Amino acid sequence: MVKTAVVTGAARGIGLATTKLFLDAGLHVVMVDNDGAELAVVAESLENVTPHDCDVSDPASVARLAADVAELEIVALVNNAGLADFGPIEETTYERWRAVMATNLDGVFLMTQAFTPALKAAKGAVVNIASISALRASTLRVAYGTSKAGVAHLTQQQAVELGEHGIRVNCVCPGPVRTKLAMAVHTQDIIDAYHDAIPLNRYGQESEIAEAIVWLCSDKASFVTGQRLSVDGGFEATGIGLAALRS
Ligand code: NAD
């Protein structure tokens, strides 16, 4: 059987960078995304991948995916697909709230549940992608931040319950990265504020998040489970006044 990683939200951004690192490590990658057109184009340029047009928030779509790849040895599942929708509480309609929850939180639940039999068989690892917004509240993130806090706790639930089957489950909390998702919601003011508030004084790169994800999936992290790893240039460690203290 072919050692395989399943990566959701793989058509671009952090998911695509993670796909490329798994390929470098010699794994086959099932690339999952609901943007079938972008996925098809990018998959065409890569070897040793299987693209799957799948909406992780849709139970039937997820069940079809799991059945389609049942013959593969799934050693890693990266629940990375996500969407950001920033808005004030009073303007966050129930539809906007549900859309964020459906992909960011329901998707992680559904995918991990559907792949648990395969992960048990391979004693595989799961990495869920949350955010620094899971750990620290900010304005305009009532849906996004809450969905990501849910992902962080869901990770612990999964790690505790699935540990006896040899499945490790960890969570990566990225700081800001200049992807399509982030640039759609980061105004210039937000970009400047992040530069000031991050000890390393810059945005991260997709590949820097991917390195942490692939390490957590690897045997090098064989005794690590139930953890949240912030890959954020030190953002979580700071309090107020960093920019003022520097100058
Ligand atoms: P991105 O927009 O570049 O990529 C996200 C991918 O997920 C896209 O290809 C999109 O089509 C796919 N997707 C969205 N909804 C889906 C669904 N229901 N089913 C299947 N695929 C779906 O964004 P990114 O920045 O690479 O984000 C990846 C993850 O990292 C997300 O979970 C995001 O919340 C998280 N994150 C990103 C940042 C950042 O600054 N970029 C910071 C913290 C956390």
Domain boundaries, the chain: 3-176+205-241
- Beta bridge partner(s), residue 50: 30
How many whole angstroms from 11 Cα to the centroid of ligand 1?
A: 9
Residue type, 110: L
User: Does the domain made of 3-176+205-241 have the CATH classification 3.40.50.720?
Assistant: yes
Positive or negative torsion for Cα 64, 69, 71, 74: negative
Element (DSSP H or E) covering residue 40:
helix 36-44
What is the per-residue DSSP string for 115-175? Answer: HHHHHHHHT-EEEEE--GGGTS--TTBHHHHHHHHHHHHHHHHHHHHHGGGT-EEEEEEE-
Best of 14, 148, 209, 232 for a ligand 1 pocket test (most atoms within 8 Å of beta carbon): 14
State the catalytic residues. Answer: 144
Give the three-class secondary structure for 9. Answer: coil
| Ligand 1 atom nearest 130 alpha carbon | 44
If one compares 243 and 10, the residue with the highest pLDDT of the two is 10
Q: What's the pLDDT at 244?
A: 85
Asked whether the beta carbons of 170 and 159 are under 8 A apart, the reply is yes
pLDDT digits (tens, 9 = 90+) for 56-100: 999 999 999 999 999 999 999 999 999 999 999 999 999 999 999
pTM as predicted: 0.98
Best of 138, 141, 179, 183 for a ligand 1 pocket test (most atoms within 8 Å of beta carbon): 179
DSSP-derived pairing of the beta strands 73-79 and 125-129: parallel
**Lowest mean pLDDT, pick from 44-53, 99-108, 224-233, 234-243:** 234-243
